[in-house]
Amino acid sequence: MRFMRIGVFTDSYLPTVDGIVNSILNTRAELERQGHEVHVFAPKPHKDVTLEVDENTHLFKANIFKPYPSYHMAWLPANANKLVKDLDLDIIHSHGIAFVGYKAVWTSFTMDIPIVVTYHTMVNDVLRTYLTDGRLVEVVNRLLWSYSRWYFRRCDAILLPSKATKEEMRKQCGKANMLRAYVVPSGVASQHYIKDGDRQKGCKKLKLDPENRFLLHFGRIAREKRLELIFEAMPQIRRTHPRAKLLVAGKGPALGYYKELAKSLQITDMVRFLGFIPDHKLPALYNASELFVTASKFETQGLVILEAMAAGKPCVGPSFRAIPEIIKDDVNGHLFPPDNVMGCVKAIITTLDDRDHLAQGARRSAQEYSVEKCTHRLVDVYDMVLARHAKSKQTQT
């Protein structure tokens, strides 16, 4: 295995905590454990936020993206190329195609450094959530896919986190643009979530009543996560499990909206908003919960599902896009039709009733997506790209 200097370019980074950021942090730690050198190029957070970083993390001035305040627009300055040259990077790995992502592909072109991109987010899905004008959505959607195809043609490899996402991208971008596409999922650092499993201690640490049966929804709170469906399911679940209660952990642009929705649906006694949960409390959060549930149709992989499984929590989710690749009925949880409230109710009740058996399957499933295994797959792609790039240069000479 060759030693590599890897430049990670990303528009999403700390202090924001989401699936992309967790993927970058976990993979970076594993790459460094294997002996590689990783440099991160990311937006600098808002001036009111202090972020301590190491010498291999390079932050650049950015503006807040007003429609989505947790997202920052960073334009890397011209002298960023000098920094890249001084670092003598072997390969660039872009985790998106927006502002810093554009700089990544431009740097690759101008400095003749091979580049791979991981496509984490179906941006067109976000458009339907935040834009109300149907004609505008259609126009912007076409522009986005046109830009995506342009971007992919300039990459040495396109990494997709699931088979479903790869197939969807092939349909949108055409076979020719996806010849260098590979499925490389993000890995989960299982050891971070496997603790003593004491439910009583978990409830005590989070000041929760252990008499309740907690259903967990954890992650960025945004409209595309479709918490409405789970909220509508709660009264029906309560008929069978009167002590069932939904824990909503995390923060995001739609937190206020969902708090108001819980009030209007008169389910405030069935839902508890926990806010941001720091890493050191995550084991307690999972220990206190009996299952994890999501209604999102937005996931290109569902890393948070795997994190829950690593903690031994069976999972419930919609049979849409990448989620059926992870959640298997009667093995580690249950699926439900994506827009069916009663299907969600049935899946949650069935999972609660068979929780102990499904918990064992959940742990086994998470092991298949360990950060060690997934990072080895990533390194194999890096090696292939570097070998192909070296051969191309030899042919040119």
8 A C-beta contact, residue 39 and residue 56? yes
Given a cut of 70, whether residue 147 has pLDDT beyond it is yes
Q: What is the mean pLDDT of residues 200-217?
A: 96
Same domain flag for 160 and 17: yes
Given a cut of 70, whether residue 194 has pLDDT beyond it is no
Q: What is the pLDDT of residue 62?
A: 84
Given a cut of 90, whether residue 212 has pLDDT beyond it is yes
3-class SS at 390? helix
Distance CA 356, CA 342 (A): 23
Distance CA 306, CA 389 (A): 34
Two structure tokens written together for 371: 């950060």
Two structure tokens written together for 128: 């339907």
Given a cut of 90, whether residue 176 has pLDDT beyond it is no
At 79-106, the pLDDT tens digits run: 788 899 999 999 999 999 988 999 999 9
Same domain flag for 173 and 247: no
Same domain flag for 38 and 150: yes
Q: Could you tell me the pLDDT band of residue 350, with boundaries at 50, 70 and 90?
A: very high
Same domain flag for 147 and 282: no
Residue, of 274 and 137, whose pLDDT is higher: 274
Same domain flag for 205 and 173: no
Residue 83 — left, alpha, or beta (φ > 0 → left; ψ -120 to 50 → alpha)? alpha
Report the CATH number at residue 274. Answer: 3.40.50.2000
Q: Which helix (H) or strand (E) holds 351?
A: helix 341-353
Same domain flag for 148 and 199: no
Same domain flag for 388 and 358: no
At 288-307, the pLDDT tens digits run: 999 999 999 999 999 999 99
Non-local CB neighbours of 376 within 8 Å, separated by 6+ positions: none
At 15-47, the pLDDT tens digits run: 888 889 999 999 999 999 999 999 999 998 876
Same domain flag for 157 and 282: no
State how far Cα 195 lies from the chain centre: 23
Residue 145, classified by CB atoms within 10 Å of its CB into exposed (0-12), middle (13-18) or buried (19+), is middle
8 A C-beta contact, residue 329 and residue 215? no
Same domain flag for 141 and 251: no
When the pLDDT of each residue in the chain is averaged and rounded to a whole number, the result is: 92
Give backbone dihedrals phi and psi of 202, rounded to 5 degrees, phi first.
Answer: -60, -45
What whole-number percentage of the chain has pLDDT above 90?
A: 77
Q: What is the pLDDT of residue 228?
A: 98
Q: What is the pLDDT of residue 244?
A: 98
Same domain flag for 87 and 194: no
State how far Cα 318 lies from the chain centre: 16
Q: In 220-340, which residue ranges form alpha helices assigned H by DSSP? A: 227-240, 255-264, 282-288, 303-310, 323-326
Residue, of 125 and 372, whose pLDDT is higher: 372
Q: What is the mean pLDDT of residues 134-140?
A: 85
At 40-83, the pLDDT tens digits run: 999 988 766 778 899 999 998 888 766 666 667 777 666 788 89
Q: What is the mean pLDDT of residues 343-368?
A: 96
Same domain flag for 306 and 376: no
8 A C-beta contact, residue 105 and residue 115? yes
Of 78, 172, 180, 66, give the one whose Cα is nearest residue 125: 172
Give backbone dihedrals phi and psi of 192, rounded to 5 degrees, phi first.
Answer: -70, -25
Distance CA 334, CA 183 (A): 24
Given a cut of 70, whether residue 396 has pLDDT beyond it is yes
Given a cut of 80, whether residue 339 has pLDDT beyond it is yes
At 259-270, the pLDDT tens digits run: 999 999 999 999
Non-local CB neighbours of 150 within 8 Å, separated by 6+ positions: none
Q: In 40-159, which residue ranges form alpha helices assigned H by DSSP? A: 80-87, 99-111, 123-130, 134-153
Cis peptide before 45 (omega within 30 of 0): no
Q: What is the mean pLDDT of residues 225-231?
A: 97
Question: What pTM value is reported for the model?
Answer: 0.92
What whole-number percentage of the chain has pLDDT above 70?
A: 94
Given a cut of 80, whether residue 211 has pLDDT beyond it is yes
Same domain flag for 233 and 176: no
Q: What is the pLDDT of residue 70?
A: 64
> Three-class SS string for 325-342?
HHCCECCCEEEECCCCHH
Which domain range does residue 173 map to? 5-187+370-396
Of 153, 117, 120, 123, give the one whose Cα is nearest residue 141: 123
Q: How many domains are there within the chain?
A: 2
* Angle at the Cα of 294 from the Cα atoms of 292 and 298, rounded to 5 degrees: 140
